[in-house]
């Protein structure tokens, strides 16, 4: 099995592509969903966040007020680092568990849907392929305004706060060009899926797993022999 990172800019069409891949049967691990799950009430990260930031960051129902916490860490690098040091290891563990689950079920590749893949760069070294969903700036602006009901100025501000799409495009192995119709994008997704499915890269990890398992089995047998004889 191998790992494929999927990313894009705001409203470039990442969710649209991710749901097409899911419809094709690809396992998708959504980093945003995982990030929300690891801070659910009474999880280890939740307990540590409340210890550090106090109960004033909680909503009435006991959940973390993500907006409030976001505002607190936005204005302080130190607090942001603290929050990341609590959540990132938990996010990585949860993702790893899901990857292992799909590996054991025999999938050839898993897609990690990560909005800030190239901004944080934490995961890129584990990925065999990176895919950017791109659309031209004018289309991105109008889709964002329409989807989120924003004024042009608000939409431009959100786009400007991210890494420019052209830069992301230059960093990826594959680009899905989503400035045109949904059908055109779907055709590109199909081509990409076929290419990844046909790739033999998954064999390397499976072979390594078999060799490691065989090695461990041999070691176990040897230890048992030593103990018994
Ligand atoms: P992202 O996940 O990158 O923020 P979305 O997949 O939500 O972006 O797409 C942004 C908006 O544009 C959504 O309203 C979506 O339905 C629409 N959209 C995406 N791709 C196309 C397309 N090829 N043609 C027309 N509208 C599209």
pLDDT digits (tens, 9 = 90+) for 21-68: 999 999 999 999 999 999 999 999 999 999 999 999 999 999 999 999
Inform me whether the pLDDT recorded for 218 exceeds 90.
Answer: no
Inform me whether the pLDDT recorded for 227 exceeds 80.
Answer: no
Per domain, the residue ranges of the chain are: 1-13+112-198, 28-106, 201-229
pLDDT at 132: 98
- The domain over range 28-106 is classified in CATH as 3.40.50.300: yes
| Cα–Cα distance measured from residue 115 to residue 32, given in angstroms and rounded to the nearest whole number | 8
- The per-residue pLDDT for range 207-217, each reduced to its tens digit, is 777 778 778 77
| Cα–Cα distance measured from residue 14 to residue 113, given in angstroms and rounded to the nearest whole number | 8
Of 126, 175, 198, 182, nearest in space to 9 by CA:
175
Q: Name the residue of 13, 146, 168, 186 whose CB sits within 8 Å of the most ligand 1 atoms, as the mutation to test its pocket.
A: 13
CA-nearest residue for atom 12, ligand 1, is: 143
Inform me whether the pLDDT recorded for 170 exceeds 90.
Answer: yes
Inform me whether the pLDDT recorded for 160 exceeds 70.
Answer: yes
Of 73, 93, 94, nearest in space to 84 by CA:
73
- The domain over range 1-13+112-198 is classified in CATH as 1.10.260.40: no
pLDDT at 20: 97
pLDDT at 171: 95
| Cα–Cα distance measured from residue 205 to residue 1, given in angstroms and rounded to the nearest whole number | 6
| Cα–Cα distance measured from residue 182 to residue 107, given in angstroms and rounded to the nearest whole number | 27
Averaged pLDDT, 146-173 = 95
Inform me whether the pLDDT recorded for 131 exceeds 90.
Answer: yes
Coil/strand/helix, residue 145: helix
Inform me whether the pLDDT recorded for 229 exceeds 70.
Answer: no
pLDDT at 154: 96
Please tell me the least confidently modeled range out of 111-115, 137-141, 184-188, 220-224.
220-224
Helix (H) or strand (E) holding 108: none
Instruction: Say yes or no: CB of residue 130 within 6 Å of ligand 1.
Output: no
Rg (CA), the chain: 21
Give the mean pLDDT of the chain.
Answer: 92
Cα–chain center distance at 88: 12
Instruction: Say yes or no: CB of residue 16 within 6 Å of ligand 1.
Output: yes
Of 120, 97, 121, 122, nearest in space to 110 by CA:
97
Inform me whether the pLDDT recorded for 120 exceeds 90.
Answer: no
Q: Name the residue of 10, 14, 16, 163 whose CB sits within 8 Å of the most ligand 1 atoms, as the mutation to test its pocket.
A: 16
Instruction: Say yes or no: CB of residue 12 within 6 Å of ligand 1.
Output: yes
Which atom from ligand 1 is nearest to the alpha carbon of 133? 3
Residue with tokens 């130190």: 78
Residues comprising the chain, all counted: 229
HSE-CB of 127 using CA atoms within 13 angstroms: 23
Neighbours of 176 (CB within 10 A): 25
| Band of residue 72 on the pLDDT scale cut at 50, 70, 90 | very high
Backbone angles phi, psi at 111, to 5 degrees: -100, 130
Inform me whether the pLDDT recorded for 219 exceeds 70.
Answer: yes
HSE-CB of 12 using CA atoms within 13 angstroms: 26
Inform me whether the pLDDT recorded for 223 exceeds 90.
Answer: no
- Structural contact between residues 143 and 171, judged by C-beta atoms closer than 8 angstroms: no
| Cα–Cα distance measured from residue 144 to residue 11, given in angstroms and rounded to the nearest whole number | 5
């Amino acid at each position: 099995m191998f790992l494929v990172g999927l990313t894009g800019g705001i409203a470039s069409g990442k969710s649209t592509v991710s749901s097409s891949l899911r419809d094709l049967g690809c396992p998708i691990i959504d980093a945003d969903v995982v990030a929300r799950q690891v801070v659910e009430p009474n999880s280890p990260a939740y307990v540590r966040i409340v210890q550090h930031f106090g109960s004033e960051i909680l909503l009435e129902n006991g959940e973390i007020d993500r907006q409030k916490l976001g505002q607190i860490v936005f204005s302080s690098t130190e607090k942001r680092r603290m929050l990341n040091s609590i959540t990132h290891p938990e996010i990585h563990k949860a993702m790893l568990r899901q990857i292992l689950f799909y590996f054991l079920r025999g999938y050839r590749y898993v897609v990690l849907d990560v909005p800030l893949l190239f901004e944080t760069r934490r995961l890129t070294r584990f990925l065999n392929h990176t895919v950017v969903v791109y659309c031209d700036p004018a289309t991105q602006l109008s889709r964002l305004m329409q989807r989120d009901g924003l004024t042009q100025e608000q939409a431009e501000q959100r786009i400007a706060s991210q890494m420019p799409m052209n830069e992301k495009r230059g960093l990826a192995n594959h680009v899905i060009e989503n400035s045109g119709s949904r059908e055109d994008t779907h055709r590109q997704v199909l081509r990409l899926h076929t290419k990844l499915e046909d790739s033999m890269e998954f064999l390397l990890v499976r072979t390594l797993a078999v060799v490691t398992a065989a090695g461990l089995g041999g070691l176990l047998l040897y230890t048992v022999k030593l103990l018994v004889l």
